[in-house]
């Protein structure tokens, strides 16, 4: 006879936090959100921790190198999507590892033979007024000059004029050489009253641009997630099909941690993938696994050697797995049960395996609930897809700006490996939708607000760390009517007036 759970599975919307005593030291500036994401033994420190408990989802519409750079600079981690050719994913990882705070790889480049019309077109496309002029038009080509808005006047110069006729030539440029530190570069910028300083190698090839405006930006990111070599940390997704080719390429590119991307992690394919990575690299390469929603799934992956376990099936805003297959579980119930299994495993073995809550988060306070229920960090898709740094196109629909957001189970993603059950190389049916999300601007601006909410809520719960929150939080199940009571009700809301 089938096994029946006596209790219904529940979502984060069905719970609220009950305040604890707010001590005088419970102020936001004292809250520390650092959290482990890799297994460790009792009494030891995790080999990899993140400064904010945020990971961006392993999705085409969310996590590329731009998102990985932006999120790592804020203290979180991205897992660059796996549903692309191996070499392209490895290239994205490499771009993150080569990025230096303040050292920007030029993405606005032309050749001397291009025209003023090309300059105008490129400026409209990128929004950048500084254009590097290289011999081949590539960001790492031989630097021949720089074009800024001070080098031309549209009212006086014909659009057909060639770049070489009005650019500032290399002979007139002040530049830095390979190996210069950011401090030295900034000192040169201030000493020579520059807005931009190109950095070149011994063959005059362009390496980076350092901008005056980035000086303050560097100071504004104290939580940057860096490895021992002061490079940004990034993760990458893998699948259980081509891992023997994909993993070595990602490791060579410098990836810090991997994660198997699958809608169902309780499988022998994941066991084989984990064991291959652990044996091939003697445990040095870290890999998370999932997704699971119960005790059995967690224990299976933990015993296989997973460094963290991802929790959640069917709770994502673009996921229709529950509709299509009837598989899944309410996210809150899944996190609670897996966290209990994690704690039992720790007590029995002395090994702590972090868990990641993936899906089901609609409001910022749901993040605090997920952490309080036992998650060490959360993975978000829709949340990050709204920002400038996500790969999706920004469009205007119905008078409002939106960004494209599609699921890995959609036909658009064509990520059959994520849902593969050994039946063949095609997507038999969709488990995700193609959609839009409201455009929200820059990642950092929005993440700062979310972090402020999380810290404030934790203070109300009398907790200054995630572990303290998990130990002391008091959580109440709520009724449908109390959920209604929690929002604005029985009033006539004024329309927001943004004109003033």
* Predicted local distance difference test score (pLDDT) of residue 455: 98
Query: Active site includes 356?
Result: no
What mean pLDDT comes out for the span 351-370?
A: 97
Q: What is the pLDDT of residues 442-486, one digit of tens each?
A: 999 999 999 999 999 999 999 999 999 999 999 999 988 887 787
How high is the pLDDT of residue 99? 82
Q: What is the mean pLDDT of residues 101-105?
A: 77
What average pLDDT score do residues 195-223 get?
A: 84
Q: What is the pLDDT of residue 498?
A: 47
pTM, rounded to two decimals: 0.79
Of the residues 26, 74, 259, 319, only one is catalytic, namely: 319
Nearest to 290 by CA among 317, 258, 337: 258
Q: How confident is the model at residue 500 (pLDDT cuts 50, 70, 90)?
A: very low
According to the model, what pLDDT value does residue 16 have?
96
Of 102 and 81, which is predicted with more confidence?
A: 81
Higher per-residue pLDDT: 248 or 103: 248
Task: Assign 30 a pLDDT band (cuts: 50, 70, 90).
Answer: very high
3-state class of 358 per DSSP? strand
Question: How many percent of the chain have pLDDT more than 90?
Answer: 72
Show Cβ contacts of residue 472 under 8 Å, excluding neighbours closer than 6 positions. 20, 461, 462, 463
What mean pLDDT comes out for the span 303-328?
Answer: 84
319 is catalytic: yes
Q: Which of 39, 73, 418, 461 is catalytic?
A: 418
CA 411 – CA 416 distance, rounded (Å): 9
Of the candidates 471, 392, 405, the one whose C-alpha atom is nearest the C-alpha of residue 432 is: 405
Per-residue pLDDT reduced to its tens digit, 17-29: 999 999 999 999 9
- For the segment 190-203, the average pLDDT, to the nearest whole number, is 93
- The chain-wide mean pLDDT, for the chain, equals 90
Chain mean position to CA 345: 29
Mean pLDDT to the nearest integer, 95-124: 89
* Ordered DSSP codes for 255-284: -SEEEE--S---SHHHHHHHHHHHHHTTT-
């Amino acid at each position: 006879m089938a096994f029946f759970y006596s209790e219904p599975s529940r979502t984060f919307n069905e719970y609220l936090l009950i305040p604890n005593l707010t001590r005088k030291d419970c102020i936001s500036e004292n809250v520390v959100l650092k959290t482990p994401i890799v297994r460790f033994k009792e009494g030891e420190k995790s080999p990899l921790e993140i400064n904010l408990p945020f990971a961006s989802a392993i999705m085409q519409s969310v996590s590329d190198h731009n998102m990985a750079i932006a999120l790592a600079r804020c203290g979180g981690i991205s897992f660059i999507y796996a549903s692309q050719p191996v070499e392209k994913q490895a290239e994205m990882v490499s771009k993150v590892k080569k990025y230096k705070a303040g050292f920007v790889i030029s993405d606005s480049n032309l050749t001397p033979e291009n025209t003023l019309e090309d300059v105008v077109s490129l400026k409209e496309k990128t929004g950048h007024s500084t254009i590097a002029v290289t011999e081949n038009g590539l960001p790492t080509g031989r630097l021949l000059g720089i074009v800024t808005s001070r080098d031309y006047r549209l009212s006086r110069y014909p659009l057909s004029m060639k770049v070489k006729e009005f650019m500032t030539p290399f002979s007139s440029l002040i530049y830095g050489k390979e190996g210069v530190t950011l401090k030295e570069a900034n000192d040169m910028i201030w000493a020579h009253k520059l807005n931009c300083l190109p950095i070149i190698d011994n063959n005059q090839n362009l390496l980076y641009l350092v901008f005056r405006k980035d000086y303050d930006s560097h100071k504004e990111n104290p939580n940057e997630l860096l490895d021992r070599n002061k490079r940004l940390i990034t993760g990458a997704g893998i699948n259980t099909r081509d891992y023997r080719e994909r993993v070595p390429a990602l490791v060579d590119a410098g990836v810090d941690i991997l994660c198997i991307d699958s809608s169902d992690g309780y499988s022998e394919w994941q066991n084989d993938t984990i064991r291959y990575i652990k044996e091939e690299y003697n445990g040095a390469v870290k890999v998370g696994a999932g997704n699971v929603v119960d005790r059995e799934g967690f224990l299976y992956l933990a015993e296989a050697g997973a460094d963290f376990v991802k929790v959640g099936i069917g709770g994502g805003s673009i996921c229709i797995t529950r509709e299509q297959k009837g598989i899944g579980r309410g996210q809150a119930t899944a996190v609670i049960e897996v966290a209990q299994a994690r704690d039992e495993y720790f007590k029995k073995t002395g090994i702590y395996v972090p868990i990641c809550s993936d899906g089901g988060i609609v409001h910022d306070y749901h993040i605090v609930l997920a952490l309080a229920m036992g998650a060490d960090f959360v993975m978000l898709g829709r949340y990050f897809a709204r920002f400038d740094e996500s790969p999706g196109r920004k469009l205007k629909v119905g008078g409002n700006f939106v960004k494209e957001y599609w699921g890995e189970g959609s036909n658009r993603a064509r990520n059959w490996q994520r849902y593969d059950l050994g039946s063949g190389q095609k997507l038999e049916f969709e488990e995700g939708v193609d959609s839009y999300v409201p455009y929200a601007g820059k990642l950092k601006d929005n993440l700062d607000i979310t972090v402020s909410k999380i810290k404030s809520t934790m203070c109300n719960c009398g907790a200054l760390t995630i572990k303290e929150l998990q130990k002391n939080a008091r959580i109440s199940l709520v009724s449908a009517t109390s959920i209604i009571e929690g929002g604005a009700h029985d009033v006539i809301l004024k329309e927001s007036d943004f004109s003033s």
